[in-house]
Amino acid sequence: MATDFFTLEVAIPCDCGHLQGRLLYGEEGQQGPGLIICPPHPLLAGNMDNNVVAAIAETMAATMPVLLFNYRAVGTSSHPQPELPLYEYWHGLDARHQYDDVVADARQVMAWSRDYFPAFHLLGYSFGSYIALRALADRALSYTAITPPLGEHDFSALAALHLPCGVVLAEKDGLLDRGKQQLPDNIHCLHILKCTDHFFVKREAEVATLVADFIHKRVALLEIL
């Protein structure tokens, strides 16, 4: 993919220190809303270099700034318990279902983004869609969930969303079968990619195109209104 954008490595302040971040932006430095992406679970290729995250970011950066970040203890992000390896730290969070600090970090990422764009579209991939849903802020213009693990986490808040909401699912995603009935009627944009699973290997460009179509339509609607 051609890189018609710039990248800026950043350190985003958070309660445990800082989060590793990356800002992608076009050559003309767009002044409109941006896109913030919450990556998957750190134990499932969850970082800002994830294949799906990177594909979406590179596609969207041509038309709006994109902010990526790594969760605490991932990459060069601060580690609250540096004596614990990544696996042990995150396994402990999973065992307790305790993600409040991770959600707080995501909210701080959104607050920090004010210096670069006035409002934003929020996207989460897999576990990231759960964190994004819990962290939604008033500057969010839309919410997009890529393969939300509906059978693993509580997505009941989807029913109360008043934002345009897009969902991309994978036909062969094991999490889909257990959770698909949880999707409420207010989902504006639902796509199920055939013949692929939760990781979208070699289908990343299709996911990115679906995301771009949804967000660009929302941007066009805002401009009309």
Residue recorded with tokens 């062969």: 172
Residue pLDDT, tens place only, 78-115:
999 999 999 999 999 999 999 999 999 999 999 999 99
Residue 181 clears pLDDT 60, i.e. is over it: no
| Confidence category of residue 28, pLDDT binned at 50, 70, 90 | low
Could you tell me what percentage of the chain is helix, strand and coil, using 3-state DSSP and rounding each to the nearest 5?
Answer: 35, 25, 40
Q: What is the pLDDT of residue 184?
A: 82
Q: Which residues are 123's β-sheet partners?
A: 37, 144
Domains and CATH numbers, the chain: 5-224 (3.40.50.1820)
Q: pTM of this prediction? A: 0.94
Q: What would the DSSP string read from start to end of 137-157?
A: -TTEEEEEEES--TTTS--GG
